[in-house]
Structure 1
Amino acid sequence: MTALDSRTPPEKKEAPLVAGSLWRAIWIMSWPLLITTVANSLVGITDVTMAGTLGSPHQAAVGLSEQIIFMFLLFIMATGTGTTALVSRYWGEGDRDKALGFAAQSLVLSVCLGATLAAVSFFASHYALGFFCESKQVENLGTTYLSLFSLYMIPFSVVCISNSAFRAIGDAKTPLFVVLTFTTISIAGDILTIKYGWPVPGLGLRGIAFSALTASSMACLLSIYKISRSELAPCLKMLIPAVPEMIKKVVKIGIPSAFQRMAWATSVFVLFYILARCPQPTEALASWSVGMRVEGLMFMPVMALSMAVSSIVGQNLGAREIERAYKAGWNVTWIGVGMLTFLAAILFAMAEPIAMAMCKDATTIGYVTSYLRINALSEPWLALGMILGGAFQGAGDTRTPMWITVTTNWIIRLPLAWYLAIEMKLGPQGAWWAMTSSVVIMGLLSAWRFRSRTWTRLHI
């Protein structure tokens, strides 16, 4: 491909995201991502369920440990946000050379981050857990689990960025295949190691960690193979030498996204701190872990729509289809609001049976039930905030979701959670109400900002 050809706008038949039916574009991106995100959530559900067969302390250890890991993973996911914004923008514009270049440099950056963060989290596992948990048993279990699970970040970085690049060019099916492979191996590994004691009896939480590491390693190899057989194949020849200017652009867009996720992740630690000071803290922490996993199944469809709209908005802004990008944001958002309203009604009605199916302890069951019912009330607002947040990120406007997250979590959620749970002595239910209140405000702020259209004028 010549330099001139590389800048030629793609034909309409090759660019379904920027031409033709907008609903078709939404469908093309959404259904594979829906299955992808549900599959990811099933891994988390299986992890915490298998841990629950070992006891509430094991469930609490898994929940707390994975929140710490998430704080490290957010840097990799932020790189993915920058990748999607830049690759989709230049792909929609028709500049394939730049799009491939950004995909390549994102892979380089992510691998370096993955290796560095794996090392840091391995050593941090021996010091961080005790600060957020007063139970020595939970701390010891979490340290063992986190030490092994930290290695997961290295292959995960490749999978994350590869999937971001595929989505950016409008290919949502390849990430689906990769994630289904990961899900199958991880869930099978959890069941075999915990329930059947294979290949080594008595692994406990280490079995869950080994399953995740094995699954992510296989998914990493599959991702590289899929890249080599796709339109992204030339990027594998562009990994060396590194291009600092391109890496800086990815980082510039990714940093606010990293801070956004960090604001959320660190607020979770503070929420853990609050729950640990409630009556029956172990049950409170375990209920949060279980509740988040179940609720995760609820917002997985919305997360899929958020990722779908990110690619659609990015490509359309690159193709100068501004009005189409704006309409895509609202169309996808109302789909998500409708879906989550329906699912929230089911969750509210089935909260207690779900809690009983996942927990053995009566107190934990009660806390999980209240968590699911209270948070079900805010699900439509969650859809509003998450999907429009994806549209902002696709446009390269990562600062808006960052400030909304900081405001709703640190200025609203945490002070209100402390006041209701501790000062008003409402216990975990007070924290659940604080979570719901902050989500409603997040949705309203996101809608207000999106309607301003200032994000359509951002140059990246």
Structure 2
Amino acid sequence: METVEVRKDIIKIAWPAILEMTLHTLVWTVDTAMVGRLNPASISAVSLGAQIMFITMMILGAVGVGATALVARNIGAGDCRRAGKIGAQALSIGIFISVGVTIVGMIFAEDIFRLAVKDVAVVELGETYLRHVLIGGFFLIPFGVSNSILRGAGKTNYTLRAVLLANSFNIIGDYVLIFGKWSFPALGVKGAALATGIAQILGALTSLYYLFSGKSGIEIYFKDLFTIDKDILKKLVNLSIPAAFELTMNDGSRLLTAIWIAQLGTVQFAANSVAVAAESLSFMPGYGFAIAATTLMGQNLGAKNIDRAKESVAQAAKYAVVLMASVAFIFLTVPYFIMSFFTTDADTVALAAKCIRVGALEQVPIAIAMVISGALKGAGDTQGPFKISLATNLGVRLPLIFLIVFVFRLNIVFVWLATALQFMLEAVLMVIRYRREGWRLLELK
């Protein structure tokens, strides 16, 4: 009977998180498609500008990881007031960081793009994009942190609503402001930036409403934002710094890998890009069930129910594996059909299809690694996932890809084999870390 209840809790938390991730992917795709109607310089400027902003905000917003774990632990223990104080401290940190990042971005937008690209047109458009999108940049980290707090309370339905509102506005705003519809001027790149910036403001305000209205079950008050609790701050920082390093390692590794892959030639780089775009859709089940594992691990540990915590992780992993194994089967059987949706170039489709077939080998390991990583973080062990990410990126992914590209000069399929090996090792190391059960000794309250 308890297993049935655990499964209900998992589905209740996971499915809104999966839809939320789907919406993020959808808005990115639509945004790119609309800007793609302009010119190559605009595409490059918006793509690079969005990556710079979102990667920076994600890394600096890693305080949300610590907030999820601490809020979940206290919700499980029935201490909604302390959960509220933790949420307020996390929001205060997020607001402080956002102010700094926004100011720096506004002042140094041109310099940032000059470091990244040499094309004068891209630099000019990129500067315009970054300065206008940062109108909403102040709200981006608070938006992410408030959603993390809501996830800790198990309210992923509220984060879904906030993201749905923000992304719906983003898509409509893109159409109206980029092309000049409904009597609005055609603003091009500037319009794309304004649509994204305003969407972030709307999303953040919606999430904050759910937090401060009491609908989330967390007792958080506006005055808490201005009250410093050194004990809570210390715990948030200790949990969040390893998470920030993990994000930096993973995003940095992907960026460096993309730069190296570009050396293989246009067709191979294009094949890798479309294969990555297709595979990114497969991560959504893992993402959703990882959030469920994080939340339920924290809440059950707070309630001193170790058995239910472990059962939650086991069931979340099972769901993720089944769904992502199904995706692996599709990748193996109809890769050409899938790739034909992303490009019409025959050479690119053929090569990308081979990549995505190799990507099928990654699906189950990624499912396991994501859920176990989420469980460890929910228990307060953010150092474990960081150390494992550090080891697999520096010990496997980067050295192998460097050898493949620069020494043996093999094609892109071998790069995918290297990343598959990385994910397999990562899954094994995550399971080993989890089964040692050092997380049982962590006291977060």
TM-score by length of 2: 0.89
* Contact in 2 for aligned 1:314/1:394 (Cα 8 Å): yes
1:213 is displaced (CA, Å) by 0.8
2:221 is paired with a residue whose SS is helix
Query: After the TM superposition, which residues 261-272 of structure 1 pair with which residues of structure 2 at under 5 Å, given as runs?
Result: 261-272=247-258
Question: Deviations 1:398-426 (Å, cap 9, x if unpaired)?
Answer: 00110111111222111211211232223
1:178 is displaced (CA, Å) by 0.7
Flag the 1:259–1:137 CA change in 2: closer, same or farther, 3 A: same
Q: Does 1:109 align with 2:93?
A: yes
Flag the 1:20–1:374 CA change in 2: closer, same or farther, 3 A: closer
Deviates more, 1:311-320 or 1:196-205: 196-205
1:53 is displaced (CA, Å) by 3.8
Q: 1:330 aligns with which of 314, 320, 325?
A: 314
Q: Matches of 1:135 and 1:425 in 2, distance apart? A: 28
2:330 is paired with a residue whose SS is helix
Query: What's 2:5 paired with?
Result: 21
* Contact in 2 for aligned 1:316/1:322 (Cα 8 Å): yes
Q: Matches of 2:412 and 2:393 in 1, distance apart? A: 17
Query: What's 1:257 paired with?
Result: 243
1:195 is displaced (CA, Å) by 5.8
Flag the 1:207–1:401 CA change in 2: closer, same or farther, 3 A: same
Query: What's 2:208 paired with?
Result: 224
Query: After the TM superposition, which residues 43-442 of structure 1 pair with which residues of structure 2 at under 5 Å, given as runs?
Result: 43-54=27-38, 59-123=43-107, 125-129=109-113, 141-194=125-178, 203-229=187-213, 230=215, 231-232=217-218, 234-280=220-266, 288-359=272-343, 365=349, 368-442=352-426
Q: How many residues align?
A: 442
Q: Matches of 1:53 and 1:369 in 2, distance apart? A: 26
Q: Matches of 1:122 and 1:352 in 2, distance apart? A: 44
Flag the 1:150–1:61 CA change in 2: closer, same or farther, 3 A: same
Q: Matches of 2:55 and 2:321 in 1, distance apart? A: 28
Query: What's 2:443 paired with?
Result: 459
Q: Matches of 2:271 and 2:119 in 1, distance apart? A: 15
Question: Deviations 1:401-460 (Å, cap 9, x if unpaired)?
Answer: 101111112221112112112322234444333222212211121112112111122122
1:303 is displaced (CA, Å) by 0.6
TM-score by length of 1: 0.86
1:364 is displaced (CA, Å) by 5.3
1:318 is displaced (CA, Å) by 0.9
1:368 is displaced (CA, Å) by 4.5
Structure 2 unaligned residues grouped into runs of 5+:
none
Flag the 1:449–1:80 CA change in 2: closer, same or farther, 3 A: same
Which letter maps to 1:255? I
1:373 is displaced (CA, Å) by 3.3
Alignment root-mean-square deviation, CA: 2.9
Deviates more, 1:345-354 or 1:318-327: 345-354
State, as a whole percentage, how many aligned pairs show the same letter.
28
* Contact in 2 for aligned 1:74/1:262 (Cα 8 Å): no
Deviates more, 1:160-169 or 1:129-138: 129-138
* Contact in 2 for aligned 1:41/1:300 (Cα 8 Å): no
Q: Matches of 1:77 and 1:351 in 2, distance apart? A: 36
* Contact in 2 for aligned 1:83/1:103 (Cα 8 Å): yes
1:234 is paired with a residue whose SS is coil
1:82 is displaced (CA, Å) by 0.7
Q: Matches of 1:53 and 1:358 in 2, distance apart? A: 16
Which letter maps to 2:156? A
* Contact in 2 for aligned 1:287/1:368 (Cα 8 Å): yes
1:242 is paired with a residue whose SS is coil
1:132 is displaced (CA, Å) by 5.2
Deviates more, 1:71-80 or 1:404-413: 71-80
Structure 1 unaligned residues grouped into runs of 5+:
1-17
Q: Does 1:445 align with 2:420?
A: no
Deviates more, 1:58-67 or 1:384-393: 58-67
Q: Matches of 2:89 and 2:134 in 1, distance apart? A: 24
Q: Matches of 1:139 and 1:359 in 2, distance apart? A: 27
* Contact in 2 for aligned 1:48/1:290 (Cα 8 Å): no
2:380 is paired with a residue whose SS is coil
Flag the 1:364–1:380 CA change in 2: closer, same or farther, 3 A: same
1:193 is displaced (CA, Å) by 4.0
Q: Matches of 1:77 and 1:187 in 2, distance apart? A: 24
Q: Matches of 2:48 and 2:254 in 1, distance apart? A: 9
